Amino acid sequence: MGRLNGKTALVTGSSRGMGRATAIRLAQEGALVAVHYTNGKEAADDVVATIEKDGGRAFAVRAELGVTGDVHELFLGVEQGLKDRTGSTELNILVNNAGVMGGVAAEDTTPEQFDRLYAVNAKAPFFIIQRALKNMPSGGRIINISSGLTKVANPEEIAYAMTKGAVEQLALHFAKLLGPRNITINSVAPGITRNGNPAFDIPEVVDQMAALSAFNRVGEPQDVADVVAFLATDDARWITGAFVDATGGTLLG
């Protein structure tokens, strides 16, 4: 018996990286998972196929976040997918994972780049939560993916870190609002975690990144997915409004 049998979940940005690992992990625990993507249709279909091959249940949903009508489009797909499979649009677990990095020095960041970072990383999660709460019953779980960069300085990613600081505010304030509904909301902050970035193909760069962790390795997507999955279960019912450090000890200094 999985710990999430009978539950439904939406993981934004789950065609790749931590989102992919989280979707697969939640499905292993028994949840029916909406695998959200933007450009990576093939990758999202592959996540669904991987889950189904293991006996799990999932469906893919496309919606570009950070543009007008994004949340409406997302929930059209999510609700249809849930209804087709469960007869209901109830959503138990929301993981706000989709995000974009800045990669632009502070002095070169344009207002348009800044607005885009905010629209995808901070504004979209707020309105996805607002919309998801219409479908979320007692016992619901909201997990927002932040970043260790809210606690450790990186002058290369100031605007990006600002968006993640905003994301962390969601857990603090929504936790108070949602406690009476028996819904928890928490932030999970990964450290450097392997994704499709070409930097992970360069051994010397990986060594430098690994040295930032107390465990002397970079994070794997599954390292973060396991933490998210725990917060989604009933075992985590007494944790809300929390900042969960999933950086592999990077913040220890």
Q: What sign does the dihedral 25-122-160-113 (CA atoms) show?
A: positive
Site for ligand NDP in 32-91 (CB under 6 A): 37-40, 64-66
CA distance 66 to 53: 32
- For the segment 185-204, give every residue that binds ligand NDP (CB under 6 A): 190, 192-193, 195-196
Closest CA to 26 of 246, 226, 235: 226
Residue among 7, 8, 19, 48 that touches ligand NDP (CB under 6 A): 19
Among 4, 7, 9, 17, which residue interacts with ligand NDP (rule: CB under 6 A)? Answer: 17
Among 4, 9, 15, 82, binds ligand NDP (CB under 6 A): 15
In the block, residue with structure tokens 């800045």: 102
Which of 48, 95, 145, 227 binds ligand NDP (CB under 6 A)? It is 145
Token representation of residue 89? 């649009």
For the question of residue 160 being annotated catalytic, the response is: yes
Binders in 108-127 for ligand NDP, by CB under 6 A: 120
Q: Residue 64 or 156: which CB sits closer to ligand NDP?
A: 64
Contacts of 25 by beta carbon, 8 Å cutoff, 6+ apart? 222, 225, 226, 228, 229
Q: Which long-range contacts (CB under 8 A, 24 or more apart) does 113-118 make?
A: 113/159, 114/159, 116/66, 117/159, 117/160, 117/162, 117/163, 118/162, 118/163, 118/166
Contact call for residue 161 and ligand NDP (CB under 6 A): no
Please report, as residue ranges, which positions from 232 to 251 form the binding site for ligand NDP (by CB under 6 A): none
Given the residues 82, 160, 162, 189, select the one marked as catalytic.
160
CA distance 66 to 237: 31
Positions in the binding site for ligand NDP (CB under 6 A): 13-19, 37-40, 64-66, 97-100, 120, 145, 147, 190, 192-193, 195-196
Q: What positions carry a catalytic annotation?
A: 160
